[in-house]
Structure 1
Amino acid sequence: MSDEVIDVSGQRRIEVLEELTPEQADWVLRLLDESAAVDGQPAVSEQGRLQLRGRREGVRHVLLSDTAGELVGYGQLEDRDPVEAPAGEFVVHPSLRGRGHGRALGNALLSESGKRLRVWAHGGHAAARHLAQVLGLSLFRELRQMRRPLRGLDLPDPVFPAGVSVRTFRPGEDDAAWLALNAAAFAHHPEQGALTQRDLDDRKAASWFDPEGFFLAERAGELVGFHWTKVHPEEGGLGEVYVLGVRPGAQGGGLGKALTTVGLRHLAGRGLPTAMLYVDADNTAAVSVYERLGFETHETDLMYRTEA
């Protein structure tokens, strides 16, 4: 199903779709790759890229084409959170910016969300901040990317709480238990806490997935924490603290720090030069832990939203 809108300027065509064709998905991926090569970071998150293929509940795609039918911009709107406003991401090809396409995409997302929108500006560039102001959006979330070198890594041996042991993830066997733990650990996180079996399957099918870098902490047969690492080979072997979570009630005993150390040692053991992670700037406790582990802020992603 689609809802086609012809921009009144006659300079562009905007189409809203619930599902992309394989050809359209390929077009969007090329647009994202070409934009990332110029901008230095992707304009659409990993989750957004995974949602390009197949119909996804609560996900809509906005295609912006020129009068010749060439794709010049893309937006995605995800409306799966029962409380938070729909979340959007969008990008215009670097060679075609400054022509009003970004504003047109932003207004299309605002219209589709019923004027209730959250939108990411990855990298926090000045042009994105200006566009957010033009669209009437206000800053409300800051996500930091932090990095530290892995060469010469010298961290104390991890100390786990009494009765806790660590093993690696067993695909298929651990799926349900991990999804439940992830939902509990990130109950107040609008993206991570909502992961489903399909989302997990998407990641297990990715070329980077390695269960040997996915560590689970358990006590008395129950999962109480995890550290899922990731390797970005296309970025010179950058390692990532992909997701780290601790079950409520098991926090405060040093489990998170111990799991972080296990994952960093794993990444260093693979010969990777650098580790990175994402953390909300207002999570001061986590930021402090990571700073003590040698991480420093590398760049910042900003999220804006409507006041309504």
Structure 2
Amino acid sequence: MPNPPTIRSYTPDDLEALGALRLGHAPSPTEGAALARWLAQPNIDAKRDCMLAFNDDGAPAGFAILIREPAIRRGVVEVNGSNQHRGGGAGDALLREVYERGRAAGLDVVQVDVPESDEARRKAFAERGWAHIRTHLHLRREGTERTNVPAPNGMTLRLAEPVDAPAVTDVQNTAFTGSWGYAPNTPAEIAYRIFELPDLRPDPVVLLEEDGALVGYCWCHREAEDAPGIVGMVGVLPGRQGKGLGRAVTGAGMDALLELGSPSLEITVDSENPPAIRVYESLGFVLDWRSFWYELRLT
């Protein structure tokens, strides 16, 4: 019987090995640089939050990343093993390390997002005591027809600049704090994710303003020039919701992606948010696939 894999914390020398485990192939220079930027996010400490498993021969056998969200006492987990070493115990060893580090950090729960189609991973988490607690709908809109949704009367639309990070942070935290799975952000985190993290920098973030004050936003993203454009978070101040502002700024975000050349569009929405689903369907999105969130309590 082989010895249990050795688990240790990530070091910068592990970048290529981690990239190969995440991607399933040796990372290109561009992919390696993107991973390095991802690990450098203000809310991530790569040495603390990323761990790797190695077999007796020194071959990488798997990895886990624990994204800590202390404000809501949650950790979001990414865990996997290389194809050559699946079933060798690396996954369970990494999960045990995740649990230990999560408890030490004072987290109450850890959660993971698994595609509905990945029955093997869903079964593996369920067998280890993880419970399915939430479902996300992944919607898609084919074609490049613009929405041409007009800006509401008295309001203007424009793309975010670095100076806007504090205002975007404030609106995002105000709009989403208390929503399932949302951890408040800082201006440094928001600025980094918009202007430093993407391969195609910056992310197109459309701002909806009234008399110079931010009312709502649509944060969009492009993975590659020829890849589907992604409509990410859409936030409107609570006192201004239910008046069509979310639909207007979402349409503006979609049009911004299409003008940049995105051949199609994607968006993810909580299955328990019917108002948002109706808005996105009215803009041409249809269900493409689903993913299931699983949770394990640490306390």
TM-score for the superposition, normalised by structure 1: 0.81
Match status 1:62 vs 2:51: yes
Asked if residue 147 in structure 1 is aligned to residue 140 in structure 2, the reply is: yes
Equivalent residue letter for 2:267: L
Cα distance in 2 for residues equivalent to 1:21 and 1:36:
17
Partner of 1:165: 156
Match of 1:10 among 3, 22, 35: 3
Measured after TM superposition, the shift of residue 189 of structure 1 is 4.2
- How big is the shift at 1:31? 1.4
**1:160-199 matches, cutoff 5 A:** 160-171=151-162, 173-189=163-179, 193-199=183-189
Matches within 5 A, 1:113-132: 113-114=102-103, 116-124=108-116, 125-132=118-125
- How big is each residue's C-alpha offset from its partner over 1:136-179, in whole Å with a ceiling of 9 and x where there is no partner? 1101122222111133x253x424444221122122x2121111
Contact 1:214 1:226 in 2 (8 A): yes
Note if 1:229 corresponds to 2:220.
Answer: yes
Measured after TM superposition, the shift of residue 52 of structure 1 is: 5.8
Residue in 1 aligned with 2:87? 98
Q: How far did residue 191 of structure 1 move?
A: 5.9
Q: Tell me the equivalent position of 2:200.
A: 208
Q: How well do the aligned residues superpose, as a CA RMSD in angstroms? A: 3.0
Partner of 1:5: none
Work out the CA distance in 2 between the residues paired with 1:252 and 1:75. 40
Q: Kindly report which structure 2 residues correspond to 1:232-243, keeping only aligned pairs within 5 A, or say none.
A: 232-233=223-224, 236-243=226-233
Q: Is the 8 A contact 2:5 2:89 kept in 1?
A: no
Alignment: residue pair count: 285
Aligned residue in 2 for 1:296? 286
Q: Helix, strand or coil for the counterpart of 2:3?
A: coil
Q: Which amino acid aligns with 1:118?
A: V
TM-score by length of 2: 0.84
- Percent identical residues: 24
Partner SS state of residue 99, structure 1: coil
Report the counterpart of residue 39 of structure 2 in structure 1.
Answer: 51
The 1:282–1:134 alpha-carbon spacing in structure 2 relative to 1, beyond 3 Å, is same
